Amino acid sequence: MTDFLEGVLCEDDERRFIEHLAECTGCETYLDQFRQAIATTGELTPDNISSDARQQLLSAFRNWQGQ
């Protein structure tokens, strides 16, 4: 997923990935969520997020992974 977003997949892998997305709504949804997360948090840097907010984000991610 990240290789696709960063544009580093070889041409064949990118084509296969796009073909997969066309058939897999789950992956398409995940990609959309990933893009939204990047857009939302893309400007956050370690020095401009409070320790409390960082812990909340980490906790939310860990809980989401466990589902």
> 29: closest CA among 67, 55, 9, 1?
1
Q: Which domain holds residue 11?
A: 2-65
pTM: 0.58
- Identify whether the C-beta of residue 61 lies closer than 8 Å to the C-beta of residue 37: no
Q: pLDDT tens digits for 5-63? A: 889 999 999 999 999 999 999 999 999 998 888 888 776 666 777 888 888 888 888 88
How many domains does the chain fold into?
1
**Whole-number Å distance between alpha carbons of 42 and 44:** 6
